Amino acid sequence: MRLHAHLCPRQVLGVRMGELAGRLLELPLPQQNKRLFVFVETDGCFSDGIMVATGCSMGHRTMRLIDQGKAAATFVDSQANPLRAIRIWPSPAARSRALELSPDMPGRSRWHAQLAAYQVMPDSELLAWQDVELTVSLQAIISRAGVRVTCAGCGEEIMNERQVVRDGVLLCRHCAGDGYYA
């Protein structure tokens, strides 16, 4: 499946992060099971790059957007005991280093320099990473497939144990006052 009509620096960052996560967590990628789970901190081309490299996706319920506006992601080995989570982000010096690596591109933009350099820069120059501990329950996020209830407020189906119980009544998050639309 083709996701984009072009290749951009953020797609390359996403792919490189996904590949590094596989090596650090010692997991074969792209995955054929649902062992790897990833929290992406922005949407767009970056998260599509991670999806291509890892096999994680929102459709497979192995990717979750936690919108922080950052090209960063936390990769979790959901079968490790205890869970192992690694957060990866671009090195603060990656952009300037990309320009240094591409001085022979007259008339080409920083965007082109980044696209070329991000594909060949060593991980240690392009990316930064650290082990982290999750502050959310991965099990609650993954939930149990097939669990469905009906909201007593709007009558809509609620999947994956996302209901809220108020005074003994099952409600969707919107009807419980935690909606994103009016």
Q: What is the pTM of this model?
A: 0.89
On the question of pLDDT at 1 being above 50, the answer is no
Summarize pLDDT for 121-168 with one digit per residue, the tens: 999 999 999 999 999 999 888 888 788 999 999 999 999 899 999 999
CA dihedral defined by 122, 36, 15, 60, rounded to 10 degrees?
A: 180
What ranges make up the beta strands (E) of the chain?
A: 36-40, 63-65, 73-77, 84-90, 127-132, 148-150, 157-159, 164-166, 169-171
> Could you tell me the residue ranges of all domains in the chain?
9-140, 144-182
- Express each pLDDT in 6-19 by its tens digit: 789 999 999 999 99
Paired tokens of 41: 């901190």
CATH of domain 9-140: 3.30.1330.130
Assigned fold of 144-182: Wheat Germ Agglutinin (Isolectin 2); domain 1 (3.30.60)
